[in-house]
Amino acid sequence: MSIPAIIVHGGAGHLGPDDPASSGGPDAPRLAGVRRAAAEALALLQRGGAALDAVELAVRILEDDPTYNAGTGSCLTADGEVEMDASIMEGEGLRCGAVAAVKDVQNPVSLARLVMERTEHVLLVGPGASALARAAGVPAVSNERLATAAQRARFEAARAGAPAAAPAKHGTVGAAARDRAGHLAAATSTGGTFLKRPGRVGDTPIIGAGTYADDMLAAVSCTGQGERFIRMTMARAAADLVGAGHAPAEAAAQALRRMTGRVGGDGGLIVVGPVGEPGFAHNTPVMSRAWSRADGTIEVGL
């Protein structure tokens, strides 16, 4: 039996105009959310729960938190709609599932898990993903309910040609974990990029780009400019660096350096190694995150 570990992120990016920290106070909501998600996932792991259940739980908590750009609170497309991407993977049998451009579920990460467990496929998109949700009894949630007033106002301001008050805050969410049995898992969920072309799919649901988990290597969840992460197969690249002997933090930093050197781009990633050591790196001003320490306490950082 080994010590369980969890690391959670709430997106890499800049502080946004709606962030309390940009007006001088502590960045309370964004850090409170990742702390709560990590704490609840850690409690599950400490009860002997599976890494797969822990990452799903952490991501669901953040999808339900309107502070983040995932699930409720997702940013809007150029058409003013919510289109969500998510994926999940377990490192024992390398099973994985993903959904892209989904418009009508509360928790895309759980739908990704249904793709993994109830179909012979890895990735379902749009209406096909919604059809699986309905067949599995997952209730439809209206797009209007997923789009918060804050995201709607941001969209209306952009449509009216208002200059952006500050660089866009990101807010993709993800988790990587190791359970007592030594198994790894990772999951990621996002509303994608603000004003994206309808149908655009980023790295989040692409296994090996936004998410990867292999007990022999590492569990990884990424956030940032998805097109660059896809081109670098970032999550798998970072996992391979751990497999080659780098500590998770060093693997994350090196993968990011390689990306900027080759294709540019910004973002960050979280990593859990095969013996449960968490690591992260980002080249953006901030990346909200929370992780468990060996003594069972949760640490947060921005």
Nearest residue (CB) to ligand ASP, 224 versus 248: 224
Which residues are 268's β-sheet partners? Answer: 223, 282
Record the tokens describing residue 118, joined without a space: 């109830």
| Active-site residue flag, 67 | no
Tell me the residue nearest to ligand ASP as measured from the CB: 226
Q: Which is nearer to ligand ASP, 130 or 221 (CB)?
A: 221
Find out whether 80 and 98 touch, Cβ atoms under 8 Å.
no
The least distance separating ligand ASP from the CB of residue 168, rounded to whole angstroms, comes to 9
- What CA–CA distances, in Å, run from 166 to 13, 24, 286, 292? 11, 15, 14, 32
Q: How far is the CB of 77 from ligand ASP (least distance, A)?
A: 11
Q: What's the min distance (Å) between Cβ of 195 and ligand ASP?
A: 12
Give the binding site for ligand ASP (CB under 6 A): 11, 170, 172, 190, 192-193, 202-204, 223-224, 226
Give the SS3 label for residue 33: helix
Query: 86: Cβ–Cβ under 8 A, 6 or more apart, which residues?
Result: 59, 70, 98, 99, 102, 108, 109, 111, 112, 187, 188, 189, 190, 204, 205
Which residue among 172, 190, 233, 284 is the active-site one? 172
Strand-pairing partners, residue 298, are 292
- With respect to ligand ASP, which residue has the nearer C-beta, 110 or 288? 288
- Under a CB-based contact definition with an 8 Å cutoff, are residues 101 and 95 in contact? no
- Shortest Cβ 170–ligand ASP spacing (Å): 3
User: By C-beta, is 3 or 302 nearer to ligand ASP?
Assistant: 302
Which of the residues are catalytic?
A: 172
